Amino acid sequence: MTRRWFITGGTPGGLGVAFAEAALETGDRVALTSRRPQELAAWAHEYGDRVLVVPLDVTDAAQVRHAVQTVEDEFGGIDVVVNNAGRGWFGSIEGMAESTVRAMFELNFFAVLSVARAVLPGMRARGSGWIVNVSSVAGLVAATGFGYYSATKFAIEAVTETLREEVAGQGISVLTVEPGAFRTNAYAGFADEPVAEPIPEYRDMLEQVKATFVEMDGVQPGDPRRGARAVLAAMAQDSPPRRLVLGNGGFDAVVDTLEGALADIRSNEELSRSADFPD
């Protein structure tokens, strides 16, 4: 059966386009949203009416509802949603401007909720559907200098876990995807972005964080096309996973971090258990 996809965060060379192309390879139809839809016009033209490019700022809940309604009217429904839109800013926990923190949560967290809430009524009515929330390795491994970005992705992890349980009985599947470093344009703007850190004690650390990302730009190990295909392969399994980490480096970092966290928790088991009232 041909599935109908709704994918946010469409930019040339990005994961959103990679997800779209992977879905199109299977014969599906795709609606891809973008704040700059003109950048996707030539790409979309190749696929004719199988692709619908939808202008959308995902941080505007009214626009989200309108975009979802537009796609449901055009395609007759939405079977798969990929919440892919998002980005990160670097800065210290103490020094990052509150306005920047809030903007990051609006894009990386609240926009995901807006999309999910807009598509779920149709999925519930049909008794089927997929929601794929793109988190990050940073949603499982806190990243120094990107603490608030990690916080937005940790929040996505929690909401997605709960959503999965709430909709499982209604025929809706939910998957969290945690990409590592993928060769997209995500790091392209770091070279020109100043370290806007008001606290001198953190500047050297953040300059090094910035330099690392600038150095990685264009040589990230992750292949967006292979990553998107891996997600589709996971969705096609008889027992799909709850989450899928993408990339060798990301996989190793997540496993090491979670095993370390488990060891740390177990090392204080006696203290943990001592906190209850005595039997």
Positions marked active-site: 135, 149, 153
Measured CA to CA, the distance from residue 80 to residue 133 in angstroms comes to: 11
Measured CA to CA, the distance from residue 231 to residue 245 in angstroms comes to: 9
Smallest CA-to-CA distance from 4 within 20, 13, 15 is with: 20
Measured CA to CA, the distance from residue 97 to residue 198 in angstroms comes to: 9
The three-class DSSP label of residue 7 is strand
The three-class DSSP label of residue 175 is strand
Task: Give me the residue label for tokens 């040589």.
Answer: 219
Q: What is the DSSP string of 91-153?
A: B-TTTS-HHHHHHHHIIIIIHHHHHHHHHHHHHHHHT-EEEEEE--GGGTS--TTBHHHHHHH
